Structure 1
Amino acid sequence: MTVTRPSPDGSGPQPPARTAHPATQRWGDLDVVPTGPRVQVSARIARRLFTAAVNRLAVTVVITEADGRRTTLGKGGPVATVSRAEEFFARLGRDQLIGFGEAYLVGAWDAEDLGGFLTVLAEQMSDLVPRPLQRLRAVVAKRPPRAQVSSKKNSRDNIAHHYDLSNDLFELFLDESMSYSSALFDTDRLDRGDHHSATPPGAPTAEELHPAQVRKIERLLDATGVGEGSRVLEIGSGWGELAMRAAQRGADVLTITLSTEQQALARERIAAAGMSERARVELCDYRAVTGEFDAVVSVEMIEAVGHQYWTTYFQTIDKVLAPGGKVGIQAITMPHDRMLATRNTWTWIHKYIFPGGFLPSVDVIDEVTREQTSLRLTDRLSFGSHYAETLRLWDEAFLGDSEAVLALGFDDTFLRMWHFYLEYSRAGFASGYLDVNQVVLTRPEEQA
């Protein structure tokens, strides 16, 4: 993908005139290349570390210097090209992984098979930096800004940053259920596939995405016993699909969100399905929920809670869960040791995509609920490879509708950002560094 940028003096190629979306105002000083003595030193260190790391990996990186000299690194595999080496290493040296992502946004490097290239890196994530230097993480890594901690005060803005971008944008690449979470495909071949490939052999097709999204929702409703007369709380409405399907089972549903865009479209979809009397969509922080519910369900919302509030999150669920009730949570998870190592690190994903978010481990879900609530983890399904394919299908649809994205007022940098986000995420699941789980929490002594 090519980013069209005018030259500094205003000459050269100009992007077509469009109504700018507010999201395009986020770039700040992204076009300013880091300079100065400290940057020069950090850039040299970054170059040495990057060269050593890439030369151990099954990738190919072609670096073009300002004078035209080319250097090829790596052991062969997915190819990345660094076209502006000085800028690339300046950004990498000053801002580490944030700089790596920003260098992609501005076109200092590129990769035809971006997901494949990033997957190889993700497989070696814990060893890309020599272990002795990893002890300096606390000194070098930036901490999350206080304004992005997912407190009651900040959460609305954090959610709006991503989910209030545009319902029209999400409709371009999601399936008809408007499900923005991992699908559950009806196959075990994903666990045996080659996720380094842009399109693995036998991979699910776009036509299979909608049934797989429905399967994911229905499984969670089955696992929590949702049926006729069930009182259901959904934390994180999305665009209303789970609430509608629970209501179609005869349940009475309260679904809550902090996104005004999601609330509006969810209400519209629920009304169109004739379910408004059974499913209410309210703007509400999970900490403010009252009442009693037979089932509490939440699909990929815990990632926005922040590690500082996991205890509050689970205690709130424990408080509103009726005797004999069940909790079903679909959560993106990471290994426990990596969670502990990175919980105070500000990342590219935080800066550009999900401010205030943080991924739990399955271990910490078990630990917090055991120590702080009466809930116990009683069932778990892991299907991370399915998320890799979900993200691939989303990215293909997004890139296929890039002109429509631009017509909504987003710019070329946004296109690169979203493509990087989707492929960066896919790499996490394809490599096994990330996983997605459906977990069920109950009070075992109350179950018949």
Structure 2
Amino acid sequence: MAPTDMVGALRRRYDSFFASRRPVPFAVIDTAGGEHHFGPGAPEFTIVVRDPRGARALAGLDQFAVVVAYLQGWLDVDGDLAAALRIREFFTDRHPMARYSGLFTGLLRGRREDDRRAISHHYDAESEFFLTFLDTRHRCYTEGVFLADDERLEDAMTRKMDMALEAIEVKPGDRVLEVGGGWGAFAEHAARRGVEVTTTTLSRESERYLTGLFEREGLDVRVVRQHIFGFRDERRYDAIVNMGVTEHLPDYRRTLRTYAELLKPGGHVYLDALAMRRKHVASAFMKRYIYPGRSAPLLLHQYLRQVARSPFELCSIADDRHNYYLTCREWARRLDAARDDITQRWGEAMYRQFQIFLWGSAAGFDTGLVQAYRWVLRLP
């Protein structure tokens, strides 16, 4: 493809896309070394074309094709990657099969099996990979709660753990069920305060990591690899905690019914989740590479409608969007700082995939494309 074809397509799109938006200047360097500027002022980022296939992806103005070209190394971005991802809608994302395929596979496999496969796709990567960018104190894979934009991630995560414990009003000896154990952030924090925790997971790698962690630390935490919809216990729990798993449980009615069956009357449920205004608008990249299957952002209005039809009371709700932006930004920075180690151990493609995921998530929260909430329910 001639550079003029790529540049012409980009200029036409630039003129139409920024006709009613604040222009974002950027540059493109073609395979021959020619530099092309778009918009007024100094470029905020520069797209470097390393391969003719990258030029074809840019000329096609297809968001998924551009991301794949970046993952393959056919394109690079110099400068502010987050700035590039803030204008991701410059490229169209018309891949309905990638977005909705999870609905069909869920029907074919069954809900629990589809959820197991989707969770395993993301979380069965080596735990050591995630630990390259998570906070070093709790290893928490959801948002922290910050008092200032420059506060350490570790302190924001400790505050979140303390707030969750305070919200569910438990004391030493009380029993808590955690939905989604991750890398043990909440379970360890609660167990060190005398709370009896049962934590569930669908990931074999998470089960392995959690079992080893609690054995080494001598903490009385029960790890169960089972879907929450199939989990039963002889005794009800004093509280339930769900940090970032509501996105993987889009059947809100059934989820709330399950909580009611497992919780003692008077017990609380702490939850947090990322959210969007429409359910199936995750990008083709997210559905193909990050969270396949039926996972979907929280739809707060739909969730609250089901709460109103359930026995639960809504005790509180808080906007966590800025907290999630700060968290993802710090995760992305730590990922970039560990690039050499990551590429050596897991490959360049893995690094680029999570670089797009984390910086893209930060940009989404920053621009308001994605929201986040934390809330507390009580069973009367």
Give the counterpart letter for 1:440 in structure 2. V
> Could you say which residue in structure 2 is the equivalent of 1:20?
none
CA shift digits 1:51-94 (9 cap, x unpaired): 52256444222234566654322344622325269644643677
Matching residue within 156, 163, 168 for 2:123? 163
> Could you say which residue in structure 2 is the equivalent of 1:152?
112
Give the counterpart letter for 1:59 in structure 2. V
Q: 1:84 to 1:272 in 2, by over 3 A?
A: closer
Among all aligned residue pairs of Structure 1 and Structure 2, give the percentage whose two residues are the same amino acid: 25
> Could you say which residue in structure 1 is the equivalent of 2:360?
424
Q: Does 1:414 align with 2:350?
A: yes
Q: Does 1:237 align with 2:181?
A: yes
CA distance in 2, matches of 1:282, 1:354: 22
Q: Does 1:91 align with 2:57?
A: yes
CA distance in 1, matches of 2:106, 2:59: 24
> Could you say which residue in structure 2 is the equivalent of 1:349?
286
CA distance in 1, matches of 2:188, 2:254: 27
Q: 1:283 to 1:63 in 2, by over 3 A?
A: same
Q: Does 1:80 align with 2:46?
A: yes
CA shift digits 1:231-288 (9 cap, x unpaired): 2110000111211222233322111001111112212222233212xx2011010111
Query: 1:320-335 alignment to 2 at 5 Å?
Result: 320-334=262-276
Q: Does 1:363 align with 2:301?
A: yes
> Could you say which residue in structure 2 is the equivalent of 1:117?
84
Query: 1:40-439 alignment to 2 at 5 Å?
Result: 48-49=12-13, 52-54=16-18, 56-65=21-30, 70-76=35-41, 78-83=44-49, 87-88=53-54, 90-91=56-57, 96-107=62-73, 108-119=75-86, 121=87, 143-145=100-102, 146-147=104-105, 151-176=111-136, 177-187=138-148, 190=149, 203-204=150-151, 208-276=152-220, 279-291=221-233, 292-305=236-249, 307=250, 309-334=251-276, 336=277, 339-340=278-279, 342-343=280-281, 347-356=284-293, 357-371=295-309, 373-408=310-345, 410-439=346-375
- Contact 2:45–2:79 at 8 Å: present in 1 too? yes
> Could you say which residue in structure 2 is the equivalent of 1:442?
378
Give the counterpart letter for 2:113 in structure 1. K
CA distance in 2, matches of 1:45, 1:296: 53
CA RMSD of aligned residues (A): 3.1
CA distance in 2, matches of 1:141, 1:286: 27
- Contact 1:228–1:251 at 8 Å: present in 2 too? yes
CA distance in 2, matches of 1:47, 1:148: 41
User: 1:349 offset after TM fit, Å?
Assistant: 1.0
Give the counterpart letter for 2:349 in structure 1. T
SS of the residue aligned with 1:390? helix
CA distance in 2, matches of 1:113, 1:427: 11
TM-score calculated relative to the size of structure 1:
0.73
CA shift digits 1:288-347 (9 cap, x unpaired): 122321211110111222x3x23222221122121111111011112x2xx15x35x662
> Could you say which residue in structure 2 is the equivalent of 1:8?
none
Give the counterpart letter for 1:401 in structure 2. A
User: 1:366 offset after TM fit, Å?
Assistant: 0.7
CA distance in 1, matches of 2:34, 2:51: 10
CA shift digits 1:199-244 (9 cap, x unpaired): xxxx33xxx2212111111101111112223221100001112112
CA distance in 1, matches of 2:97, 2:211: 45
Q: 1:144 to 1:50 in 2, by over 3 A?
A: farther
CA distance in 1, matches of 2:126, 2:323: 26
> Could you say which residue in structure 2 is the equivalent of 1:30?
none
Give the counterpart letter for 1:326 in structure 2. H
- Contact 2:30–2:55 at 8 Å: present in 1 too? no
CA distance in 1, matches of 2:369, 2:124: 29
Give the counterpart letter for 1:433 in structure 2. L
